[in-house]
A and B are shown apart, each in its own frame.
Chain A
Amino acid sequence: MSQIDFEQIDGMVIAHLKGDLDAANAAAVQRELAESLGPDALNLVIDLSRTRYLDSAGIDMLLRFSDRLDHRRAKLTLVIPESSQLNRLLMIVGLPEAIAIHPSLDEALAGQRSGEAS
């Protein structure tokens, strides 16, 4: 069963994760993300608004995927609402240094665009 709802806006892929990202599904989610991007160097926004828990296996997967996009000169951005517990967790592991995090999809899209322009 699919773990993600996809949409495309302005040549960017938006991946709305349906639930938690953990050791049980990290590999399947990574596969689904890779398939959605195909061979194109598209920017990717992963929306974690519906994700309550994200464990170390999930964090590793996000970092690996970010590296992979870097090599193709594309960018990974996360959407995490301000109210989410994930902000505290990701601070602890220093994720914001590696991956841009925005509190809403609109801000993430704006951030991606300005990133392209610079």
Chain B
Amino acid sequence: MEAQQGAGSSISESRRDHLLSITDSGLGYMSLEDMLSELLERIRDALEVDTAAVLLLDEDRGVLLARAARGLEEEVRQGVQVPLARGFAGRVAAEARPIIIDLEHADVVNPILRQKGIRSMLGVPLQAEGRVIGVMHIGTLVLRDFDEDDVALMQLAADRAALAIDDARISETRAVTAIMQRTLLPEALPEIPGMRFSAKYLPAGTGIKIGGDWYDVFQLTDGRLGFVVGDVVGRGVLAASVMAEIRTAVRAYVMQGHKLAEVVSMLNDLLVSMGRNRGATLSLLAFDPDAEELEAVVAGHLPPLVVDPNGDPRLLEQKAGLPVGVRAGNEYEAFHYPFPAGSRLLLYTDGLIERRGESIDIGFQRLADAAAAAARHPKTNLADDVYHALLDEMPLEDDVALLAIETLPLGGPLEMILPARAGVLAGLRSTLGRWLEAAGANEDEQFDVTLSASEAAANAIEHAYGGSESDFTVSCEQGADEVTVTVRDHGRWRTARPPGGGRGLSIMRKLVDDVEISSDEDGTVVKLTKRLADRS
């Protein structure tokens, strides 16, 4: 006891210098690679050992990877991997405590340690925010009894290294995350007359703000609208990169005009052939506005929820195919559902409804109730309303992605606020046509009113203030034996117009019974009225 204390105090002079060399703030200005090398060199000097190494934990694969080494450079060059809980470093990481061993009697996974002739080793865990992120170890070619001071100094160096590694990882992850989030989710949801889209995306946890959940909306080659919601196993940058591959592949196959079921089975084969070893679940749907029909393919994902125009919710519990990315050759099946105007569709990931220790059926019921309530009494938008109803009181345990698609009811008056862009005209005509049909207009009348309104809308778009940023409004009302469509914009109706504009006006006057144009500082209002022949 005395002898040890004496030795301890006599060493402490030089230890203090070593302590300073290890905590030197100058280390903080180096790159992570240089910093680790320099730190290991100083530890080798300070503790008079032959080898020093840092291994970092790859949480996704459950292995430690050699990252920096002194006297053991082969370890890094050969990319040594040590499984968690096995071998010397694996045990240090798994038990999260310093371990000292004598190699003659120890289980060592890494052959380089034996080849080098290392006899004694000391390993300490690298920890950040209470989690083990790696291991730092030292070794000697002669037998040595590492003492408490050695352990304390090593732990100090390990903490210094852990801090630097964590900082570097966070800034690297932040940069990657920022880029990925920009590219992974649609920049904006589409603006389509007669439809409303809303979405929510919330990665759980702090720090790495990216999960394996995603959603996407796109146009199909046949004019239908496509929707995807999915969930890649795991989280973090790796899961996100697989998600990005899936998102791109789905869009690419859809653009080539493949059927939905084919898209999913091609995606599955692609992921398996790329050897990603990460399963994913997804729902791929397409909505046909003219046929008012929904087509759905499900790959191991939770069933989509539809709320019908009466407000009754139902899960589309169809035969689901297997998750993608696990086994090649899976077949998928598409199912069709009516989706009349006034219907709502909710696509979501499990984080929205699953609670620890609770049956999933309770989650489905809660979702159905929340969606029905949100449909009856809308507050902001469907995705927001459902999200708040389900998760406001709950800590977020898992990532959540939620996409809501609503088709506006066509029974009564219809009002649409549209961006002043010519691209909305086709969708506007499609919605107007369906509204007029519901209002009892025959084919000629549907054509006449729709084309006239399209002319008025094209004029509003052409003369909109602020170019693409401004809006215009189209409202439809049904009288006893007539329909009225009103187009309001914030620009001035030009009386001196090029020939095209004049033709537009004369077409309107001939196709509908009354065209009323009024213009003031606020903008121009074009009111089109058409008497309907047969309202039986």
Residues of A at the B interface (CB closer than 8 Å) are 19-20, 22-24, 52-53, 55-57, 59-60, 85, 88-89, 92-93
Contacts and interface: CB of A to CB of B under 8 A. Distances in A.
A116 B510 CA distance: 36
Given A55-B504, A60-B503, A92-B511, A22 B443 contact: no
Interface in B371-418: none
B170 interface: no
The 10 tightest CB contacts between A and B, nearest first, are A24-B422, A56-B504, A23-B458, A85-B447, A56-B503, A60-B500, A92-B510, A23-B422, A24-B425, A56-B500
A22 B444 contact: no
B444 A85 contact: yes
Contacts of B511: 89, 92
Contact of B507 (A20, A22, A24, A56): A56
Give the interface residue-count category, chain B: 20 to 34
A72 B223 CA distance: 37
B426 A89 contact: no
A89 B451 CA distance: 10
Contacts, number: 61
Contact of A93 (B450, B501, B507): B507
B499 A24 contact: no
26 contacts: A19-B223, A19-B426, A20-B429, A22-B426, A22-B454, A22-B458, A23-B422, A23-B458, A23-B462, A24-B422, A24-B426, A52-B429, A53-B429, A53-B451, A53-B454, A55-B504, A56-B501, A56-B504, A57-B458, A60-B500, A85-B443, A88-B444, A89-B447, A89-B511, A92-B506, A92-B507
Majority-rule SS of B interface residues: helix
Interface in B442-456: 443-444, 447, 450-451, 454-455
A4 to B, nearest CB: 15
A21 B462 CA distance: 16
A20 B511 CA distance: 18
A55 B451 contact: yes
B360 to A, nearest CB: 42
Given A24-B425, A92-B511, A53 B450 contact: yes
Nearest to B446: A85
Contact of B503 (A19, A22, A59): A59
A66 B425 CA distance: 25
Interface string B505-520: 0110011000000000
Interface of B: 223, 422-423, 425-426, 429, 443-444, 447, 450-451, 454-455, 458, 461-462, 499-501, 503-504, 506-507, 510-511
Nearest to A84: B447
Nearest to B426: A20
A86 to B, nearest CB: 9
B443 A23 contact: no
Nearest to A19: B426
Contacts of B450: 53
Given A22-B426, A24-B426, 12 more contacts: A19-B426, A20-B429, A22-B422, A24-B425, A53-B451, A55-B504, A56-B455, A56-B501, A56-B503, A56-B507, A85-B443, A89-B507
A85 B444 CA distance: 7
Contacts of A20: 426, 429
A20 B422 CA distance: 13
